[in-house]
Structure 1
Amino acid sequence: MLEFADYFDVLKKRKWVLLVWIVVGLIGAGVAFLVLPKVYRSSTLILVESQKVPTDYIKPMAVDTIEERLIAIQQQILSRTLLQRIIEEFHVYDDELKRQPLEDVIDLMRRDIKITMVDDRFHRNIQAFTISYDSDVPALAMQVTNKLAALFIGENLKVREQLVEGTSEFLEGELLRVKERLDRQEAEISQYKQKHIGQLPQQEEAMFRTLDRLTMEMQTQNDMLRMLVERKEIMRDALETSAGTPGGVIHLSPKGRLRQLREQLAQLLSEYKDTYPDVLRVKREIKDLEARVARGPSADDLEEDVVVSGSDMDSQLRTVDAEIKVRRHRAGEVQSQIKSLELRMEQMPIREQELSTLLRDYETTNKRYQSLLANKESAKITEQMEKRQKGEQFRVLDPANLPIRPVKPDPLRVFLAGIMAGLVLGGGTIWWLDFRNLPFRRPEEIESSLGLPMLASIPHMFMVGGQDRSNGRNGTPAVTGWRQWLDRMKLLPGNAEDGNGALMHKLPTGGKSQRVLQAHMNALGAEQFRVLAGRIVQVREKKGAKILAVTSSLAGEGKTTVALGLAITLARDYLEETILIDGDVRNPEVSTRMGLQDERGLINVLAGECLLNEALYQHTHPNLRILSAGTVENGSRGLTATRVGMQELLADLRGRGVIVILDAPPILPMADMNLFSEVVDGIVLVVRAEQTPQGVVAEALRFLSGGSIEGVVLNDLVTPRHQYYGRYAIAEPPPVL
């Protein structure tokens, strides 16, 4: 994953690409601003006036908001018929009509017409609105705008009048329909009451009174029947007694007489009122007799002779029997009336519910009728107000102006668009150059992408010694900081010098001149080479790998620098017997940097022109010897040896027990590296940070046949993981190799 610092570094590196595209975008925007046609806009402000009569007195008919009404009017104004009429009247879009159908031209005019609402900023109530029209002719824009304003005002009046008239017509029709329904419900209620009279809820009290009266009458009839039956029994007893009495005389006590009078009074009261003469007479007799009984018995009051003949007694018995029959018949009638009344009272809740439903529907209809009647009267008043133009209206506040300056194209937007286009194109170019095939920037990227272990991370000279990378010319890769370090190698003074200032040492096998050099190396770079050398020693101890080839995917990634630094560090810090072989015979960079480009070397040894010991040159460190690429007589270079010859040479070196560092040719595009990969013990792959694309490295690994890759060296790393290392490297005096 790329971090922000990675993007910032890329942007910093490609800033001129981005600036160039921004300038191109600004130039294109300027040309577009001059070429694009000018558009003028005329606008008018229309004020929305509220009705002149207070709403407390006359309620407005319109229930929709002004915004909703404006939208409805806008749809009518922007209809195909009206716009076509305006196009024909003012001859607008004549050129467009020649090239496009009418429907497309009408859509174009709709886009040129703009309606904007203006509110009061506090209550969000619309107080006014503006109508504007865009045209390439200023006078035509003003004329069309005035026409649109007139259409809006006229359409608003028309809509409000139609609304009021339609409301009045609707209310009249609805009022007639509700009136018919109300009359029908009144008739239904009247018929129901007539049909169920005596069972209606409002008759409940009268029915209870009637029931009480009938109950009392039933009680009276029962009492009279009981007294008549008792009287009949007394008369029968008296008749039987008088049969054995001379002359038919019956002696009755005052109490017996009082009982007879009371029975007679009860009978009379059941039939007559209290003011009836017989009732009054019997009451006087009862009163006198009660007084006599209250004074106590006397000789005169002990008995009273009542003479009753046999024929009179029979007549009275027949009379009592008839009275009993009448009383029983009346009691039966009263009992029937009570049962009928109870049945009707049982039906009363049902009738109450049915009548309540009828009355409720009637009340609802009546309320609706009254409401419609009131609304009808209000609609008539509102209609009169609209006809007198006292309602809400549209009034032109600012007539359409004659535009002077064009509104399109907007210079700010045009140049901003140019800048944005430049940024997009610049970003695309940077992506194509740097992100289309991303290079490796950090060690963890190599481990996660290639699955190979990291051996070391060689820093960039700018970060460790103050030198920045520079781009090469003629397509050659930039010279890295370590290559600049190796270029600064100088000859050391010694015991004897030749004419070129080189030290003369004798080899163990006989004398050959050797070049001894030293280099000034930054502390951070030296430390990374020590890390690399230490891991190479571990590889030798674990796997027995003594011959290692240092290669890269492409030329210019710093493999020669890494090979030289690794060989020097092994010889100086680890005291390992080391032989550095320049195996890149097509580009013998080691030989060139060491000044051995004209000396015999690998090619001569493989060709049998000299022995290996005769071609080895001693470095200033006694543990390091160098085998150059060698030369041929005709001056041309090439790998003429076979695989067998290379195997024999490396077998000879492997038998000496030394570490051999082979500066091998790059993997791409030639196949020279495949010859070395099959004969060496291991391969160290050098990848230049922020330069070599990841896809190229993957392709090189697929192209490589044979060989064991021991790890990867990330060379020329620009951004170290910790800035402290850079300060430490600058502060520490460089060691001498």
Structure 2
Amino acid sequence: MSTGPAVPNPPINPYATPSIDLRDIARMLWRRRWLLVVPWFAAALVGLTFALLLPPVYTSTVVLFFEKPQPLAGTLGGVSSGPTNADAQADVMREQLKSSLFLGSVITASGLRDDEGTRAWAKKGAREYAGLSESESIDRFMIDHAREHTSIRKAKGNVFQITVEDFDRDRARRLAESVANQFILTSKAAQLEAVRATQEFSLEQERSYRLRLDEAEGRLEAYRRNALTTSMASSSVGPTNLSRAQSLLAQTDYEAEDLRSRLRMLKARWSGQAQERDPDLLSNAQVVSLATQIVTLERQIATAQLSDAGQENVGALRLAIVRKHNELEVELGAGAGQALPNLSDDIRQALVSYRLAQADLAGVEARRVWLGTQVDTYQRGVIDTPDRQLEEQHLTQEVENARRLYDSFRQQSAIASIAEAFENAKLSGRFELIEPATRPLSPSKPNRPLLVMLGMVAGLLVGAATVLVVEQHDQSVRNADEIENLLGLPVLGAIPRVEELQRSRRRSRSATAAGLPAVRDHGLLHRLKVESPLGLEFRRTYLKLARVRGRQLPRSIVVTSSTRGEGKTTTSACLGITLARELRQKVLLVDFDLRSPALHRALGLPSSSWGLAQMLHHRHFDDRFIRATVLPDLEFLPAGKSERPASELVDTDSVEWFLKEATSRYAMVLIDSAPNLAVPDSLILGRAAEGVLYVIKAGSTIRKAAEYGVKVQREARDNVLGVLINDSGEVLPQYYGYRYNYYGYSEEAAGTEG
């Protein structure tokens, strides 16, 4: 039958963010529930303790209205008469509350300083003030108490709310009332202080304006003197000879560049035949003097070129330079013969010419620098002239303004302004009492429900954070896919927790610790029901085991694990019961853990000193040691006890002999062995048995331990059939779509155990 074209799978985005499964989070929290519950309970208990132990706090409030001050008329309107807006006034009031003097006045006005009850209460809290007398320490304590428990809050508009907290409701009301009255008295005192400040201000202003006028006139006079001095030291360049000066400067630049080219040519003549410092050896005092004179003459030529229209002095100066040039040449020639006798005449002459060119270049450079300075000075003067005029106008305007302000203030009547200030009753603002202090009827603190709620929330957050940290660092295997990918073995079953068995073990340990005889437990032989979730899961395990690797059910199976406490013994008991029910043939359940036998407890049978150990010791399969159970097809061989150590009893020959004898009598032999990472018993049994089942406890077995345990078991013999995940009720409540509470099953009906 033909089929249509295959539909391609949608591409997988490797950068897609994995979705959050709330069920996984819920299972994680349930698995770590004690890490979540203990901090939550502790924090709730702490919150409840604080709520019950904290003393009640009463709050009293006073409401004041702030009227803004009216400004003075005229120049006195700039007098600062205190805060003019509500926010600034609130800041001032808060600063006043920090003042010990202000709070001391509040305590005195309230009468609390002389109140016996208040003094007795303050005396208990004043013990921390060492080095003070009793009265001083009591006052200090009451002041600090008022400072810490009084607050100012600005409401809408210009309304202020004063709040006082105290452990006594009457004391809270008295403090609040006294604080409000003290603010009102302080406001009235500020009014009088503002009037006095106005009087002083009027006198200070007159002196201030006069001082400003004198300073402005002094700055103007100093600037004019400076401008006059600057104009006297002007440049030789002016509007009439600026173009000539610029032309001379350009010509000088050309001459300097020509001399530099000549120096390079002259240096090339003696380069390689004389040293770099040889030209300097030609210098002496006379040479330096002549070179300096040439420089001076060049500057004079520049001055004459700008000021001498007929150029008469220029010719005389050039003639003088020629004479000095000749004298310098003679002096350099004489010095060359003395300083450099080893050089040839041509080289010495080249060095003399080089030094003469340097002297000429220095003279031309001096002339160029002087001309450039004169041109720049003139140009800066031309540019700065408007700025100087503007600056002079600015200073003149400042003088006029200062004189106008001074004259204006003098014309005003200071007496009239001060009289106006006296008549202004609202000069620095005034407080008006809107709501008087109230006597609190019930405490405002602590908020007990809120404390308990905050404690519970904080504990929940701490617990959740602890769970996340522990879960992040958990190295145990937790799901079937991880086990199959890690070990390369199929998961044959996910066994739920059996809580009833855990409770029976705890009862047994408690009875033993109390010195009482242990209560006989019926075990899994009576509690493992066929139609329970546990029974159905082991039946599914049997069906998978029967077709594993496409072969028949092995006749001898070893059950082992990595370490103790992974549920290996319970798994062996349940699997043995299930095999006896399903096969309907004789099944022998063997406790091969000779060091720590526990299979009889899981089955609910009493312990025995005779069993497998005696068989291995004497190499005799004694049927008397085998014990019958309530199931007709299930028999049990206990571990027994022997004087010989288990390592001598469990060897390859003994194990092969025992399995041969057991399989000849029973259709199935199921062996509960010791953990394979603790002792090598399981490795020896694995070589002789037809199959091995490996038990892993979800959420408990470490990945490395499981991986290494399976590795060493396979190295002994590669007959590991698969993995049984134990304790899956904690980590794997659903396994391949199966849920243990389906079809009306409950834990009580199932009788599940761990």
CA contact (8 A) 2:614 2:642 kept: no
Q: 1:303 — aligned with what?
A: none
Aligned-residue offset at 1:116: 0.7
CA deviation after TM superposition for structure 1 residue 46, in Å:
1.0
- 1:100 paired with 2:134, answer no
Q: Which residue of 2 aligns with 1:724?
A: 737
2 CA distance for matches of 1:594 and 1:147?
82
Residue correspondence of structure 1 range 144-183 to structure 2 within 5 A? 144-156=175-187, 158=189, 165=198, 168=202, 171-183=205-217
| Distance change (3 Å), C-alpha of 1:137 and 1:426 | same
- Conservation of the 8 A alpha-carbon contact between 1:73 and 1:155: no
1:268-324 deviation per Cα after TM superposition (whole angstroms, max 9, x unaligned): xxxxxxxxxxxxxxxxxxxxxxxxxxxxxxxxxxxxxxxxxxxxxxxxxxxxxxxxx
**Counterpart residue identity of residue 401, structure 2:** K
3-state DSSP class of the match of 2:504?
coil
- Cα RMSD after superposing both structures: 6.5
CA 607–526 in structure 1, closer or farther in 2 if over 3 Å, else same: same
SS of corresponding position for 1:82 = helix
CA distance, structure 2, for counterparts of residue 688 and residue 572 of structure 1: 25
Q: Deviations over 1:444-487 (max 9, x none)?
A: 56679xx645542633569xxxx986742351699x9x957984
Match of 1:647 in 2: 652
CA contact (8 A) 1:45 1:129 kept: yes
SS in 2 for 1:180: helix
CA contact (8 A) 2:58 2:166 kept: yes
CA displacement at 1:389 relative to structure 2: 1.8
Structure 1 partner of 2:724? 713
Contact 1:44–1:399 (8 Å) recurs in 2: yes
Residues 40-80 of structure 1, C-alpha deviation per residue, up to 9 Å, x if partnerless?
22221110113467999967846774323331342234223
Unaligned runs of 5+ in 1: 120-125, 198-345, 490-517, 733-737
Residue 645 of structure 1: how far off its partner (Å): 5.7
Contact 1:563/1:662 (<8 A) preserved: no
* Superposition pairs of residues 463-482 of structure 1, within 5 angstroms: 471-475=502-506
Amino acid at match of 2:166: S
Instruction: Identify the residue that residue 398 of structure 1 maps to in structure 2.
Output: 435
In structure 2, C-alpha distance between the alignment counterparts of 1:31 and 1:195, rounded to whole Å: 88
Contact 1:443 1:454 in 2 (8 A): no
Residue 680 of structure 1 aligns to a residue whose secondary structure is: helix
Distance in 1 separating the partners of 2:86 and 2:653: 101
Residues of 2 paired with 1:594 and 1:194: CA distance? 124
8 Å contact from structure 2 (residues 494, 537) kept in 1 = yes
Query: Shift in Å at residue 114 of structure 1?
Result: 0.9
**Residue equivalent to 1:363:** 397
For the 8 Å contact 1:557–1:686, the answer to whether it is kept is yes
SS of the counterpart of 2:158? Answer: strand
Does the 8 Å contact 1:591/1:628 carry over to 2?
Answer: no
| Paired position in structure 2 for 1:112 | 149
CA distance in 1, matches of 2:650, 2:38: 56
For residues 599 and 192 of structure 1, the distance between their equivalents in structure 2, rounded to whole angstroms, comes to 125
Matched, 1:90 2:112: yes
1:175 partner amino acid? Y
| Distance in 2 separating the partners of 1:639 and 1:662 | 24
Deviation at 1:396, TM superposition (A): 2.0
* Aligned residue among 401, 411, 418 for 2:448: 411
Identity in percent: 15
Alignment match, 1:492: none
Distance in 2 between residues matched to 1:455 and 1:348, nearest whole Å = 101
Q: Is the 8 A contact 2:662 2:669 kept in 1?
A: no
Give the conservation status (yes or no) of the 8 Å contact 1:524–1:725: no
Alignment of 1:280-429 (within 5 A): 353-367=387-401, 370=404, 381=417, 384-385=420-421, 388-391=424-427, 392-417=429-454, 419-420=456-457
Structure 1 32/360 Cα, relative in aligned 2: closer, same or farther at 3 Å? closer
Contact 1:677 / 1:683 at 8 angstroms: preserved in 2? no
Amino acid at match of 1:395: E
Contact kept? 1:29, 1:418, Cα under 8 Å: yes
Distance 1:521 1:31 in 2: 45
Kindly indicate whether residue 698 of structure 2 is the aligned counterpart of residue 664 of structure 1: no
Q: Give the corresponding residue for 1:458.
A: 493
- SS of structure 2 residue aligned to 1:354: helix
1: CA distance, partners of 2:617 / 2:230: 140
Inter-partner Cα distance in structure 2 for 1:537 and 1:576: 22
Pair 596,680 (structure 1): closer, same or farther in 2 beyond 3 Å: farther
Q: Give the deviation of 1:180 after TM superposition.
A: 1.2
CA distance in 1, matches of 2:451, 2:228: 90
Instruction: Please give the alpha-carbon distance, in whole angstroms, between the structure 2 residues aligned to 1:56 and 1:539.
Output: 116
- Preserved CA contact (<8 Å) 1:483 1:561: no
Post-superposition shift, 1:118? Answer: 0.6
2:620 aligns to what? 610
**Kindly tell me: are residues 144 and 364 of structure 1, through their superposed partners in 2, closer, same or farther at Cα, counting changes over 3 Å?**
same
Residue of structure 2 in register with 1:582 after alignment: 591
Q: Which is richer in helix?
A: 2
User: 1:601 touches 1:627 (CA, 8 Å); kept in 2?
Assistant: no
Q: Which residue of 2 aligns with 1:130?
A: 161
Query: Residues 97 and 147 of structure 2 are in contact (CA less than 8 Å); yes or no, is this contact kept in structure 1?
Result: no
Q: Which amino acid aligns with 1:358?
A: E
Matches within 5 A, 1:147-296: 147-156=178-187, 158=189, 165=198, 168=202, 171-184=205-218
Pairwise CA distance, 1:115: 0.8
Q: What displacement does 1:99 show?
A: 0.8
CA contact (8 A) 2:561 2:694 kept: yes
User: Unaligned stretches of 5+ in structure 2?
Assistant: 1-17, 130-136, 232-379, 510-520, 746-754
Q: Is residue 688–residue 716 contact of structure 1 (8 Å, CA) maintained in 2?
A: yes
* C-alpha distance 566-30 of structure 1, shift in aligned 2 (>3 A): closer
Cα offsets for 1:322-366 (capped at 9, x unmatched): xxxxxxxxxxxxxxxxxxxxxxxx999976653432121221343
Over 3 Å counting, the alpha-carbon distance change for 1:643 and 1:97 in structure 2 is: closer
Question: When the two structures are superposed, what TM-score results if normalisation uses the length of structure 1?
Answer: 0.53
Distance 1:81 1:562, change over 3 A: same
Note if contact 1:668-1:700 (Cα within 8 Å) is conserved in structure 2: no
- 2-structure distance, mates of 1:382, 1:453: 102
Q: Matched residues in 1 for 2:413 and 2:562: separation?
A: 97
C-alpha contact (below 8 Å) 2:560/2:682 kept by paired residues: no
Partner of 1:272: none
CA contact (8 A) 2:59 2:172 kept: yes
Distance change >3 Å, CA 609–CA 666, structure 1 → 2: closer
8 Å contact kept, 1:185–1:362:
no
Distance 1:409 1:5 in 2: 39
- Post-superposition shift, 1:368? 5.5
Aligned CA distance change for structure 1 residues 474 and 95 (closer, same or farther; 3 Å): farther
Q: Secondary structure at the match of 2:65?
A: strand
Task: Report the equivalent of 1:680.
Answer: 686
Q: Give the partner amino acid of 2:655.
A: L
| Residue 45 (str. 1) matches residue 63 (str. 2) | yes
Letter in 1 for 2:394: R
2:59·2:443 contact (CA, 8 Å) conserved in 1? yes
Letter in 1 for 2:96: Q
Residue by residue, what CA displacement relative to the aligned partner does 1:216-247 show, whole Å, maximum 9, x if unpaired?
xxxxxxxxxxxxxxxxxxxxxxxxxxxxxxxx
- Structure 2 distance, partners of 1:154, 1:373, is 40
